[in-house]
Amino acid sequence: MLQIKDLTAEVDGKPILKGIHLTVNAGEIHAVMGPNGSGKSTLASILAGRDGYEITGGSVMYQGKDLLNMPAEDRARDGVFLAFQYPVEIPGVSNIYLLKAAVNARRRHQGLQELDAMDFLSLVKEKVRFMEMDEKMLYRAVNEGFSGGEKKRNEILQMIMLEPTLALLDETDSGLDIDALKVVSKGVNSLRSPDRAMILVTHYQRLLDYITPDFVHVLSAGRIIKSGGPDLALELERQGYAWLTGDQKDAPSKGAA
Amino acid sequence: MSEAQSTIDEIISKDYEHGFETLLEMDVIPRGLSEDVVRLISAKKNEPEWLLEWRLAAYRHWLTMTPPEWANVHYPAIDYQDMIYYAAPKSQKDGPKSLDEVDPELLKTYEKLGIPLHERAILAGVAVDAVFDSVSVATTFKDKLSEVGIVFCSFSEAVHTHPELIKQYLGSVVPVGDNFYAALNSAVFSDGSFCYIPPGVRCPMELSTYFRINAKNTGQFERTLIVADEGAYVSYLEGCTAPMRDENQLHAAVVELVAMKKAQIKYSTVQNWYPGDKDGKGGIYNFVTKRGECRGDHAKISWTQVETGSAITWKYPSVVLKGDHSVGEFYSVALTNHRQQADTGTKMIHIGRNTKSTVVSKGISAGFGQQAYRGLVRVAKSAVGARNYTQCDSLLLGEKCQAHTFPYIEVKQPTATVEHEASTSRISEDQMFFCRQRGLSPEDAVSMIVNGFCKEVFKELPMEFAVEAQKLLGVSLEGSVG
């Protein structure tokens, strides 16, 4: 589904990604871990199409298309979803309005009929209940006055409404208490399916207690320095990143493919 | 310049939808202004002597005045002798008795503007007075309204059918010498709408006037007077458009509202005069005086305006709160794009006890747009317990536009509470990316964010108008996205 080959990128002339190789197949969940500043969030942002990065080399193919040449909105409509680390506030725009606009933009792109108000409402209410959220938040402005946990839940609500093909979760676990973490994980796990893939960007093992990945990659200084199964995350939890980052020669930057 | 910014810049280059011209045989008087012209206009309208005298007094006063220069707008001096002060479709000469007699070209014009004048075609619940250049061409639902005693007709007609009401209220809120443009209007005003709601009557439908400037080199000087007697209620809508022309055209209107004891007037405007082209050529100068007076206790006057058009806007819909416990409100969205300039705001004059006013102003500047909020809150010594809340937010789209805020607060009563909040913001790159990541096009994202910014004002508009305003804002920001 996703093939990243030798991807290099800069911000303001400073190299951030220095040759990323990663292949993600349908049905897989990949965790990308690494210390602060290793380029994890940059990778997620570049895949989603955020401006401000200069791609200096490499390629990213998504379902046979050149992902890097697609505008952000086309990637989204094609099923790439990014759950933001810091969800933005949009004053005056209600959550339900945004959700409806997003869902219908995707449906139009897929050649499906837009959902009418009634069908949309019953669908969104079901998902809100599943995420253990208050229905009232649908009518509040997007993320305005939301707590950190509410914002993250709201991101996952958007994700399960949009049913992406490739979900990127950027530090979704940061700032969550244990109850919120469970709910967020429940949302993510509900999307596990043979024709969907996910990349979880995270600093800690904690999230992986609830969402078991198929592969774990360690990113350091813009390269994947080690890949493995779920056990690798546990090993990191015990030993810290220094265990790997001090010793890069032994870690070929090989993807999970 | 960032990519998000360049996207926004592309979106805010727009086309004006209502720029077409209707070709009609017109009755036009020669250019220029003099006592004779004032007499001629009055004669064309068969006016009584007292009204002519009133006009002449205004004209003589106007001659002694100079245009206001304190506003933050810039334009070459207007040559008042180079303008035409009266233009009317010839077919209107004897006044159509019913819609069937209205020139089909005119009906087509309004249909094209989305304002069908055939009653059966109109959205249920809105009565329209259509003003074309200097005259009212049609008023709908007149009969139905008169069943409950409501008078809704063109100003010219009201002068003949209800002279006592006109005599009593004309100029009672905006005196002839109030300001330069109001004086000019009083001298040469041609038509407009008149509305009287008798005591205790709740107007069963929205009333509206649709103003259209069509003729070239012509100024439009309309006059609207709305009186809500004791306990009455009326919601009134005003819409405006003009053809695209390279010359600037002057629109100097006066609107007077009178709310008696426990009466309520809700006045909503969607102003979409031709704003000029992207280089600032052409467009309407919209120099308008709008004022309402709460004359009785517990009266309420509410102004809601969405200003997207005009080359220059100079306009301060105000409320004089005379009655105790009376309420004044001003909700405004103003958009300036390209070279548009706007100096707009409100005046809330607290005189009665426990009077209350709310001001919510949302300014959006794009391109080289220049925008100023200018608001006065005056609390007289008599206004014990007066309260005002003012919120004034500016949204800047682009690097070259400007927003200014000039609040004036004069309080002579120590028990008064006056609050003023102001903010300036931009659409952030993060907001744009977030929306696009959810599948929205950049146009839809900007339009959604701008509409969100304006929500507090839009929710004050009547339903159909709110939809219209959202669309208009979308169109005003629309352009080619490469």
CATH number at residue A84: 3.40.50.300
CA pair distance B169, B152, nearest whole angstrom: 15
Q: Is the pLDDT of residue B103 over 80?
A: no
Q: Which residue has the higher pLDDT, B337 or A247?
A: B337
Contacts of A48 in chain B (CB under 8 A): 433, 437
Q: What is the pLDDT of residue B123?
A: 46
Whether residues B436 and A72 touch (CB distance < 8 A) is answered with yes
What is the CB-side half-sphere exposure of residue B205 using CA atoms within 13 A? 22
Whether residues B434 and A52 touch (CB distance < 8 A) is answered with no
| Range B246-260 average pLDDT | 87
Task: Choose from A84, A88, A143 for mutation: most chain B CBs within 10 A.
Answer: A88
Nearest Cα of chain A lies from the Cα of B2 at a distance, in angstroms, of: 8
Nearest Cα of chain B lies from the Cα of A143 at a distance, in angstroms, of: 11
Q: Which of B111, B167, B159 is nearest to B138 (CA)?
A: B111
Q: Of B94-98, B160-164, B398-402, B410-414, which range is least confident?
A: B94-98
Q: Of A73-87, A123-137, A210-224, B118-132, which range is least confident?
A: B118-132
| Range A232-257 average pLDDT | 65
Q: Is residue B482 part of a domain?
A: no
Residue B91's alpha-carbon distances to A128, B102, B105, in angstroms, are: 62, 8, 10
- Output the average pLDDT for chain A: 90
Q: What is the pLDDT of residue B245?
A: 59
Nearest CB partner across the interface for B440, out of A48, A73, A84: A73
| Range B167-190 average pLDDT | 93
Whether residues A97 and B428 touch (CB distance < 8 A) is answered with no
| Range A225-247 average pLDDT | 82
Contacts of A77 in chain B (CB under 8 A): 439
Q: Which residue has the higher pLDDT, B366 or B65?
A: B65
Q: Is residue A256 part of a domain?
A: no
Contacts of A81 in chain B (CB under 8 A): 437
| Range A45-70 average pLDDT | 94
What is the percent of chain A with per-residue pLDDT over 70, rounded to a whole number?
A: 95
Q: What is the pLDDT of residue B109?
A: 64
Whether residues A84 and B429 touch (CB distance < 8 A) is answered with no
Q: Of A236-240, B135-139, B405-409, which range is least confident?
A: B135-139
Contacts of A86 in chain B (CB under 8 A): 430
Q: Is residue A206 part of a domain?
A: yes
| Range B249-263 average pLDDT | 93
Contacts of A84 in chain B (CB under 8 A): 434, 437
Q: Is A133 left (phi over 0), alpha (psi -120 to 50) or beta?
A: beta
Contacts of B455 in chain A (CB under 8 A): 92-93
Whether residues A109 and B439 touch (CB distance < 8 A) is answered with yes
β-strand pairing of B193-197 with B151-154: antiparallel
Q: Which residue has the higher pLDDT, B362 or B3?
A: B362
Q: Is some CB atom of chain A closer than 8 A to the CB atom of B482? A: no
Nearest CB partner across the interface for A82, out of B3, B437, B449: B437
Q: Is residue A32 part of a domain?
A: yes
Q: What is the pLDDT of residue B481?
A: 28
Q: Is residue A173 part of a domain?
A: yes
User: Which residues, including other chains, have CB under 8 Å from residue B285's CB and lie 6 or more apart?
Assistant: B75, B78, B248, B249, B250, B251, B310, B311, B312, B314
The Cβ of residue B381 has, within 10 Å, a number of other Cβ atoms equal to 11
- Output the average pLDDT for chain B: 83
Whether residues B439 and A97 touch (CB distance < 8 A) is answered with no
Chain B residue with the nearest C-alpha to that of A163: B438
Q: Is some CB atom of chain B closer than 8 A to the CB atom of A111? A: no
Q: Is some CB atom of chain B closer than 8 A to the CB atom of A98? A: yes
**Residue A255: pLDDT band by 50, 70, 90 thresholds?**
very low
CA pair distance B321, B217, nearest whole angstrom: 38
Q: Which two tokens stand for residue A139?
A: 């009518």
Nearest CB partner across the interface for A106, out of B429, B439, B452: B439
User: pLDDT (tens digit, 9 = 90+) per residue, A91-124?
Assistant: 999 999 999 999 999 999 999 999 888 899 999 9
Q: Which of B397, B444, B435, B396 is nearest to B8 (CA)?
A: B397
**Contact (Cβ atoms closer than 8 angstroms) between residue B209 and residue B128:** yes
**Residue B480: pLDDT band by 50, 70, 90 thresholds?**
very low
Task: Choose from A11, A41, A42, A51 for mutation: most chain B CBs within 10 A.
Answer: A51
The helix (run of H) or strand (run of E) holding residue A237 is helix A230-239
What is the percent of chain B with per-residue pLDDT over 70, rounded to a whole number?
A: 78
DSSP 8-class letter at B140: -
**Contact (Cβ atoms closer than 8 angstroms) between residue B180 and residue B211:** no
**Contact (Cβ atoms closer than 8 angstroms) between residue B192 and residue B131:** yes
Q: Is residue B21 part of a domain?
A: yes
Q: What is the pLDDT of residue B357?
A: 97
Residue B9's alpha-carbon distances to B342, B368, B470, B480, in angstroms, are: 20, 11, 19, 10
Q: Is the pLDDT of residue B96 over 70?
A: no
Nearest CB partner across the interface for A72, out of B428, B437, B453: B437
Domain count, chain A: 1
CA pair distance B218, B201, nearest whole angstrom: 38
**Residue A240: pLDDT band by 50, 70, 90 thresholds?**
confident
What totals of helices (H) and strands (E) does chain B contain, helices first? 12, 23
Domain count, chain B: 1
Which of A 132-161 lie inside 8 A of B, CB atoms?
141, 158
CA pair distance B29, A114, nearest whole angstrom: 55
Greatest mean pLDDT among A44-48, A253-257, B423-427:
A44-48
Q: Is the pLDDT of residue A25 over 50?
A: yes
Coil/strand/helix, residue B273: coil
Q: Is the pLDDT of residue A37 over 60?
A: yes
Q: Of A21-25, B237-241, B379-383, which range is least confident?
A: B237-241
Q: Is the pLDDT of residue B121 over 50?
A: no
| Range B200-222 average pLDDT | 78
| Range B116-129 average pLDDT | 53
Q: Is the pLDDT of residue B388 over 90?
A: yes
Nearest CB partner across the interface for B452, out of A93, A102, A106: A93
Q: Which two tokens stand for residue B9?
A: 């810049």
Q: Is residue B415 part of a domain?
A: yes
Q: Which of B254, B252, B186 is nearest to B225 (CA)?
A: B254
Nearest Cα of chain B lies from the Cα of A111 at a distance, in angstroms, of: 14
DSSP A102-155: HHHHHHHHTTPPPPPHHHHHHHHHHHHHHTT--GGGGGSEETTT--HHHHHHHH
Whether residues A71 and B436 touch (CB distance < 8 A) is answered with yes
Q: What is the pLDDT of residue B464?
A: 66
Whether residues A71 and B438 touch (CB distance < 8 A) is answered with no
| Range A69-91 average pLDDT | 95
**Residue B237: pLDDT band by 50, 70, 90 thresholds?**
confident
Q: Is some CB atom of chain A closer than 8 A to the CB atom of B430? A: yes
CA pair distance A144, A125, nearest whole angstrom: 20
Whether residues A90 and B438 touch (CB distance < 8 A) is answered with no
Q: Is residue B160 part of a domain?
A: yes
| Range A229-242 average pLDDT | 84
The reported pTM is 0.82
Nearest Cα of chain B lies from the Cα of A45 at a distance, in angstroms, of: 10
Nearest CB partner across the interface for A90, out of B2, B431, B454: B431
Could you identify the residue written with the tokens 């897929």? A110
Establish, for the pair of chains A and B, how many residue pairs have beta carbons separated by less than 8 Å. Answer: 83
CA pair distance B129, B162, nearest whole angstrom: 17
| Range B242-259 average pLDDT | 80
Q: Which residue has the higher pLDDT, B45 or B8?
A: B45
Nearest CB partner across the interface for B437, out of A48, A52, A86: A48
| Range A166-170 average pLDDT | 96
The helix (run of H) or strand (run of E) holding residue B106 is helix B104-112
**Residue A253: pLDDT band by 50, 70, 90 thresholds?**
very low
The Cβ of residue B444 has, within 10 Å, a number of other Cβ atoms equal to 17
> ipTM of this model?
0.93
CA pair distance B358, B457, nearest whole angstrom: 12
Q: Is residue A252 part of a domain?
A: no
Q: What is the pLDDT of residue A238?
A: 83
Q: Is the pLDDT of residue B50 over 90?
A: yes
Q: Of B87-91, B92-96, B341-345, which range is least confident?
A: B92-96
Nearest CB partner across the interface for B4, out of A51, A76, A90: A51
CB-count exposure of residue B348 (10 Å: 0-12, 13-18, 19+): buried
Q: In what order do the strands lie in the sheet with A14-24?
A: A14-24, A2-11, A54-62, A65-66
Q: Is some CB atom of chain A closer than 8 A to the CB atom of B452? A: yes
Nearest Cα of chain B lies from the Cα of A238 at a distance, in angstroms, of: 36
Q: What is the pLDDT of residue B19?
A: 65
Q: Is residue A250 part of a domain?
A: no
Contacts of A54 in chain B (CB under 8 A): none
CA pair distance B226, B194, nearest whole angstrom: 6
Q: Is residue A204 part of a domain?
A: yes
Q: Is residue A107 part of a domain?
A: yes
Residue A208's alpha-carbon distances to A150, A201, A223, B298, B367, in angstroms, are: 20, 11, 21, 63, 49
Chain B residue with the nearest C-alpha to that of A99: B438
Q: What is the pLDDT of residue B242?
A: 59
What is the residue range of A33's domain? 2-245
Q: Of A190-194, B283-287, B320-324, B458-462, which range is least confident?
A: B458-462
CA pair distance B388, B15, nearest whole angstrom: 39
β-strand pairing of B135-139 with B126-132: antiparallel
CA pair distance B450, A203, nearest whole angstrom: 36
Q: What is the pLDDT of residue B216?
A: 64
Q: Is the pLDDT of residue A15 over 50?
A: yes
User: pLDDT (tens digit, 9 = 90+) per residue, B277-335?
Assistant: 777 777 888 899 999 999 999 999 999 988 887 788 889 999 999 999 999 999 998 88
Q: What is the pLDDT of residue A257?
A: 39
**Residue B340: pLDDT band by 50, 70, 90 thresholds?**
confident
Q: Is the pLDDT of residue A254 over 50?
A: no
